[in-house]
Structure 1
């Protein structure tokens, strides 16, 4: 009888692990200062076991091949020195890290539309981008970071230069021994050609779900079904788990219509819509065995100074959505009671 009870406990523990052992992550936004313990405490309080650390490179325009990175003109957290300090502090607190170098194009132009006018410019961009990625891949290995992301929302670059990306993945593997992914936008992941060479199918999950001003749990749930079916099929086809390299919603009306919007519109604040959309995403994905988890977009270091009930931006901080995230992310602790 004791053996039977013991076996039941083991089976239960195994099921609990498969259900709750997810990447419960936040996208930890770079700042101009070093990260201190009081910056990490809110990450721990929300129950996150992962953080994405995001050093940046900058490009002047969509057709410019010059990528500027790791310079003193950047914020501390956007360059190598700062990213390493962030990672070390997160690791000291038991938080795993995905290193996710990103590009910012002047005036917020969409990186997926970046396209060079000539072969010469493509080659210049490739040389610069490779140096950018390998710099941070080496840092990821040095800091023993758990996941490395080779790019974010670079649809045209990927489509136009597939050979470059195949070579880049091989070069990253030579210097970094952890898991590798790529953060494909919601409208490009299905045609990204190199998933078989990576460890996760990375998706920035800003899928349009419904056009209602005040979306309901029911309409949001219904809106997910076709997207969810396609991701499940791709995960099975590639035999790779889906990882939401970014997910989140604006706290505003129509939050499910175009979740990718980053403009500074004056849309009415709608805290309930953000909270409900976040809850539905958790309901739909976190119990799926083909789904690895994800990173909330976005989480600022200065927790007490951001978000709040008058803010219609992405951050869930100091809003009802933060409580939704905490409840989901801390389930692993509850399951062990």
Structure 2
């Protein structure tokens, strides 16, 4: 089958789903200690976001530990099932769609992609624990009728070592939840993810390296996207599924597109232009593509007035020039 025919199949599938006309203009809505209030949601409406990723959390003590602890009184309100439901319901009342995206935090911030058990017994314990974790939120997703559930985030070693488990898990989830499914593969993982055909979106946390410049221009960043975009398109064609950027974002600092995944606590020079340019480039490259479903900006805090600002070099675009870029582009892709 030619690449043209494969691409045509994707476009036909996407068009028939009723989603070709509306991009997912999303934000990653960070869990907080407190309930979300109307004034918090108002800020999302101002940037024309039509979707939000609600992210309850589970915790693992070590990358080789098989127990996931979740939905406890020791967690922040927004990290629990009760908190996630409250967030979802207020967002929905404001016409904002939701993707539930349960995530795991490993002690000391170790990367979730390296979670790997040391014995078959521990693997089975992890699988049983993950079942409880994700099916709990599949039930919530069905209860609240959210349109998308993300079944995992950046779990490369888990996915690589236990492919049969993930096939079984997807069937269990679909028996509970009737909406659409994705998985958030890291930017260097998605090509090896084995179960895209069983899901509805190819989910990518899109932290691709694009430029080594201190303040890359929009054109330079768009050029940097070309080889990655070609590979993303190939995976979409191969699997016949639209692509969803389950996370995308850039820090407001020098060299932001060199290692966009960087989450350290450095105090490097804040660079608002670099972050804004990177946002413009990703919108220009992807939002006009029919095979591209949209994405979720990383990340958006509910206490908007206290977030971001011109001295902040972190990911959030709040109270920075990048916020204006998001607002303008999301407005242009709103119905």
* TM-score bracket relative to the smaller structure: over 0.9
Partner of 2:185, secondary structure, is strand
Within-5 A mapping of 1:266-277: 266-277=267-278
Aligned length: 319
Once superposed, what is the RMSD of the aligned Cα atoms? 1.2
Unmatched segments (≥5 aa) in structure 2: 1-14
Q: Tell me the distance in 2 between the aligned counterparts of 1:247 and 1:40.
A: 20
Residues 261-311 of structure 1 show CA distances to partners (whole Å, capped at 9, x for unaligned) of: 000111110000000000000000000001000000000000000100000
3-state DSSP of counterpart to 2:285: helix
Deviation at 1:212, TM superposition (A): 1.1
Counterpart position of 1:65: 66
CA distance in 1, matches of 2:333, 2:299: 22
Q: TM-score, normalised by structure 2?
A: 0.93
SS of match in other structure, 1:330: helix
Shift, 1:218, TM fit: 2.2
SS of the residue aligned with 2:66?
coil
CA distance in 2, matches of 1:190, 1:161: 16
> 2-side partners of 1:106 and 1:242: how far apart?
31
Q: Which digits, 9 at most, give the CA deviation of each residue in 1:146-190, with x for residues without a partner?
A: 100000000000000001100000000000000000000000001
TM-score, length-normalised on structure 1? 0.93
Per the alignment, residue 76 of structure 2 pairs with 75
Q: Verify: 1:125 aligned to 2:126, yes or no.
A: yes
| Cα deviation, residue 115, structure 1 | 0.7
Moved more, 302-311 or 212-221: 212-221
- Please say if residues 20 and 286 of structure 1, whose CA atoms lie closer than 8 Å, have aligned partners that are also in contact: no
Separation in 2 of the partners of 1:283 and 1:20? 17
1:303 is aligned to 2:299: no
Deviations 1:36-89 (A, max 9, x none): 101100011000000000000000111111110000010111010000010000
CA-CA distance at 1:332 after TM superposition: 3.6
Taking the aligned partners of 2:269 and 2:120, their CA distance within structure 1 comes to 46
Alpha-carbon spacing, 1:215–1:94, altered in 2? closer, same or farther (3 Å): same
Would you say 1:230 and 2:253 are equivalent positions? no
> Is the CA contact 2:100–2:141 (under 8 Å) kept in the aligned structure 1?
yes
Pair 1:149-2:150 in alignment: yes
Query: How do 1:241-320 and structure 2 match up within 5 A?
Result: 241-320=242-321
Instruction: Name the residue aligned to 1:205.
Output: 206
CA contact (8 A) 1:245 1:295 kept: yes
8 Å CA contact retained: 1:18, 1:289: no
> In structure 1, what is the Cα distance between the partners aligned to 2:165 and 2:74?
29
8 Å CA contact 1:50–1:97 kept in 2: the answer is yes
Long gaps (5+) in structure 1 = 1-13
Task: Tell me, yes or no, if structure 1 residue 39 matches structure 2 residue 40.
Answer: yes
Contact 1:20–1:331 (Cα < 8 Å) also in 2? no
Output aligned runs, 1:105-116, within 5 Å. Answer: 105-116=106-117
**Rg larger in structure:** 1
Residue 49 of structure 2: aligned partner: 48
**Alignment match, 2:6:** none
Corresponding residue SS for 2:297: strand
- Do the aligned partners of residues 222 and 332 (structure 1) sit closer, same or farther apart at CA in structure 2, a change above 3 Å counting? closer
Farther off after superposition, 206-215 or 251-260: 206-215
Residue 137 (structure 1) aligns with = 138
